[in-house]
Amino acid sequence: MPTPKKKTSKSRRDMRRSHDGLEAPAMAIDKKSGELVRPHRAFKAADGALYYKGKQISAAKSK
């Protein structure tokens, strides 16, 4: 099995791993309900309707 000819330096190793850190997803607060929502995505509110940018885009489904 092939082995490296030279030791990888700490600097090079850490630069390679620089993108591995996890970030918390971006969140925004809905203006009407005050719920946390993902930006640029429609979300279903407690009333069952879909909202996008604070505006209702589809009605709630009735049972």
Residue type present at position 58: S
More reliable by pLDDT, 32 or 1? 1
Mean pLDDT of 29-34: 80
- Above 80 in pLDDT, residue 53? yes
Mean pLDDT of 13-42: 88
- Above 80 in pLDDT, residue 8? yes
Cα–Cα distances (Å) from 42 to 34, 36, 50, 58, in that order, read 15, 12, 6, 10
Question: What is the structure's pLDDT at 55?
Answer: 85
d(Cα 48, Cα 33) in Å, to the nearest integer?
Answer: 13
Q: Where are the domains of the chain?
A: 28-58
| Predicted TM-score (pTM) of this structure | 0.53
